[in-house]
Amino acid sequence: MKKANPNQDRPEIFNTAVLKKIQQARMAQPTAGELLSGILSGDINALSKAITLIESSNPKHFEKANTLIHSCLPHANQSVRIGITGIPGVGKSSFIEAFGKHLSGLGKKIAVLTIDPSSTISHGSILGDKTRMEELAKDPNAYVRPSASGETLGGVARKTRETIVLCEAAGFDTIIIETVGVGQSETAVHSMVDFFLLLNVSGTGDELQGIKRGIMEMADAIVINKADGDNIPKATLARTQFAHALHLFPSKKSGWIPTATTCSAKTNEGIAEIEQLISKYIELTKNNGFFDSKRAEQNEFWLLETIHHQLQEHFFHHPEIQKELEKTKKAVQNNEYSPFAAAQLLLKKYFKNKP
Ligand SMILES: Nc1nc2c(ncn2[C@@H]2O[C@H](COP(=O)(O)OP(=O)(O)O)[C@@H](O)[C@H]2O)c(=O)[nH]1
Ligand SMILES: [Mg+2]
């Protein structure tokens, strides 16, 4: 056998390789404490890892994720949360890019999150070509994070809400949430933001058609985008129509009177005014107490939402219930049982067998 030579560099290379592996493994699996100190120092890499952790659907990660969110909470409230909705193609991503760059110019730090439960199916937006917001993503004051994929709307929404907390702890003072503007995503976003902006475009002259009343009612501002070039007169007309329509809604608890305005994400016309509008809203609602009471209400909503969700998950994943449910479904379909009585039976069984 060859005698070991202490000066031989082979063992050293081996050691460095092992060391590197250990370091990489540690980096890949940082503790909640390591992630927290990374986040608090504004380390984007740590923030991204933390978001991946809370997005994980592996039950083994839940405890660590909860510990992390809990420890971020005391650092997480100094922000303005803005929701942007509108049908695909109105220019939400383009608007956020222009608006985000303007905010960055004012010295703000912006995190952009998207709620798009369909992203796994459509691979991003349906019409848009700016989903990644390339320019804003390059801005050192901005962080752009696409939606968690492969999830239901409820799942995406819950995780987005926790992501907001992490971003705020990392020092982002403006959180912008883009929804795809289809389905129920507006309601989910509305329940996690301070200011809700509905983006629109002028088109057929019959602008108010096709916009759900409930969404208009939630809006704190309606912005007609693409007010540039030949489109300016039409956009101005649309703004007037929306302004009239907004007057017909009952006044808001916030004391704020929603407004309609125009902008162009292409020329930046009107973008600065929208920032001023939102600042006015924040000032008003912080002074009259609505800002804090709305956030408190939202916290309560998410508490109850999470409980509902977890109870449901637990029930439907219970092995005995899963077996029984199939039989019960058939019995109900064949009118052997009333749905109500069958539900009672299943629930009774569930509560009896609860571990
Ligand atoms: N002329 C003009 N086009 C715009 C404006 N904003 C967005 N667009 C275009 O509209 C299309 C859809 O934009 P996008 O931001 O992806 O819309 P989203 O689906 O609502 O996110 C893209 O081709 C954009 O270049 C604008 O202010 N003016
Ligand atoms: Mg988009």
Per-residue model confidence (pLDDT) at position 126: 44
Would you state the structure tokens that stand for residue 323, as one six-digit string? 């077996």
Instruction: Answer for the pair 122, 146: CB distance below 8 angstroms, yes or no.
Output: no
H or E element in which residue 345 lies: helix 339-353
Digit-coded pLDDT (tens) for 57-114: 888 888 999 999 999 999 987 899 999 998 888 999 999 999 999 999 999 999 999 8
User: Could you name the CATH architecture of 76-287?
Assistant: 3-Layer(aba) Sandwich (3.40)
Instruction: State if residue 93 touches ligand 1 by the CB under 6 angstroms criterion.
Output: yes
Per-residue model confidence (pLDDT) at position 204: 55
Mean pLDDT computed over every residue of the chain? 86
CA separation for the pair 36, 170 (Å, rounded): 9
Digit-coded pLDDT (tens) for 110-161: 999 988 766 544 444 444 445 668 889 999 999 999 876 656 777 788 889 9
**Where are the chain's structural domains?**
19-75, 76-287, 304-353
Per-residue model confidence (pLDDT) at position 18: 76
Per-residue model confidence (pLDDT) at position 182: 64
Atom from ligand 1 closest to the CA of residue 127: 19
Residue with tokens 């070039």: 229
Instruction: State if residue 86 touches ligand 1 by the CB under 6 angstroms criterion.
Output: yes
CA separation for the pair 182, 86 (Å, rounded): 8
Per-residue model confidence (pLDDT) at position 127: 42
Q: Is 341 exposed, middle or buried (0-12, 13-18, 19+ CB in 10 A)?
A: exposed
User: Pick from 166, 124, 129: which is nearest to 149 by CA?
Assistant: 124
H or E element in which residue 94 lies: helix 92-105
Digit-coded pLDDT (tens) for 181-198: 666 788 888 999 999 999
H or E element in which residue 260 lies: strand 259-262
Instruction: State if residue 132 touches ligand 1 by the CB under 6 angstroms criterion.
Output: no
Per-residue model confidence (pLDDT) at position 44: 95
Beta strands 80-85 and 174-179 are: parallel
Least confident range from 130-134, 221-225, 267-271, 289-293: namely 130-134
Q: Could you tell me which residue, 5 or 52, shows the higher pLDDT?
A: 52
Per-residue model confidence (pLDDT) at position 208: 64
In terms of phi and psi (left: phi > 0; alpha: psi -120 to 50; beta: otherwise), the region of 89 is left
Q: CATH code for 19-75?
A: 1.20.5.170
19-75 matches 76-287 in fold = no
Whether 209 has a pLDDT exceeding 70, the answer reads no
Q: Could you tell me which residue, 206 or 186, shows the higher pLDDT?
A: 186
Instruction: State if residue 202 touches ligand 1 by the CB under 6 angstroms criterion.
Output: no
Per-residue model confidence (pLDDT) at position 46: 96
Residue 220 CB coordination number (10 Å):
23
Q: How far is the CA of 289 from the centre of ligand 2 (A)?
A: 33
The 3-state DSSP class for residue 199 equals: strand
Count CA atoms within 13 Å of residue 305 on its CB side.
18
For the segment 6-16, the average pLDDT, to the nearest whole number, is 57
Share of the chain above pLDDT 90, in %: 59
Nearest CA residue ID for atom 4, ligand 1: 226
Of 84, 94, 96, 131, the residue with max ligand 1 atoms within 8 A of its CB, to mutate for a pocket test, comes to: 94
Q: Which ligand is nearest to the CA of 92?
A: 1
